[in-house]
Amino acid sequence: MKKIQLYSLATPNGQKISIALEEMGIPYDSHKINIMKGDQFSPEFISINPNSKIPAIVDPNGPDGKPISMMESGAILIYLAEKSGNFLSMDSRLKNETLQWMFFQMASIGPMFGQFGHFYKSAKENCDHPYPVERYSKEVKRLLGVLENRLEKNDYLVGEYSIADMATFPWVNCLTEFYHAEDYLELEKYKNVNAWIDRCNERPAVKVGRKVCNFD
């Protein structure tokens, strides 16, 4: 059986898929797409992902036995979970609960954290007005509060560890590892979130998956 081909970089969105592949024990080959150098705009990559974003995969053994290309990290997570039969419950209630928390990441955590990081770290030379950082940091703190409350009585977002966690915790890691904003955001206040992050980061498959297609 031919391996899945992963095209990625170790950003929060990229880490989701390499972590999932490691957690699910699915054989794969990784190909680094350096978005800093414009690799995502090559004709070869566009043929896999017309939107020129990482991550993307090609599964030589698709649902009908034919190759399939997949873009969008949330769609890829669902595809891999269904392919492997892991980390997405077959129970209808738990499945839908998992999907809603994963889409919470896709619709809120990722976009808002990303905008915060852009203005807090990347755009300082082009935008010195305080409004964008204030606006997005307020929203980041609100979203962290949602996670904090959810994790008050739960070790993971939906009972057991799932694709909802895989989708979300790399973005929380990003606040410290990419943006170095832990003091500004007062992340130490979010005790439940920090404990959850530690649980996720200590998983052996996560330690491997986070380093796939690294920046170095």
The contacts of residue 17 (CB under 8 Å, 6+ apart) are 6, 8, 55, 57, 73, 76, 77, 80
**Domain of 96, in residue numbers:** 92-203
Please check the confidence at residue 1 and state whether its pLDDT lies above 80. Answer: no
- Average of per-residue pLDDT across 41-64: 96
Same domain, 25 and 102: no
The contacts of residue 69 (CB under 8 Å, 6+ apart) are 47, 48, 49, 56, 57, 58
- What are the structure tokens assigned to 95, written together? 């499945």
Residue 144's pLDDT band (cuts 50, 70, 90): very high
Q: Is residue 99 part of a domain?
A: yes
Same domain, 113 and 19: no
Outline where 85-130 has alpha helix (H).
92-104, 110-117
Give the whole-angstrom CA distance, residue 86 versus residue 89: 7
Same domain, 114 and 55: no
Q: How many domains does the chain have?
A: 2
Q: How do residues 71-102 score in pLDDT, each as one tens digit?
A: 999 999 999 999 999 999 999 999 999 999 99
Give the whole-angstrom CA distance, residue 169 versus residue 91: 23
Give the whole-angstrom CA distance, residue 179 versus residue 97: 30
Residue 125 amino acid letter:
E
Same domain, 112 and 197: yes
Same domain, 131 and 190: yes
In terms of pLDDT, which residue wins out, 107 or 122? 107
Q: What 3-state DSSP class applies to 83? A: helix
Q: Is residue 215 part of a domain?
A: no
- Say which range, 37-51, 65-79, 122-136, has the weakest mean pLDDT: 122-136
Same domain, 102 and 122: yes
Same domain, 141 and 199: yes
| pLDDT in the model for residue 126 | 86
Same domain, 111 and 171: yes
Q: Is residue 216 part of a domain?
A: no
- Average of per-residue pLDDT across 174-196: 97
| pLDDT in the model for residue 216 | 79
Same domain, 96 and 11: no
- What are the structure tokens assigned to 109, written together? 């955590």
Please check the confidence at residue 211 and state whether its pLDDT lies above 60. Answer: yes
Give the whole-angstrom CA distance, residue 43 versus residue 119: 31
pTM for the full predicted model: 0.96
Same domain, 175 and 109: yes
Please check the confidence at residue 40 and state whether its pLDDT lies above 90. Answer: yes
Q: Is residue 214 part of a domain?
A: no
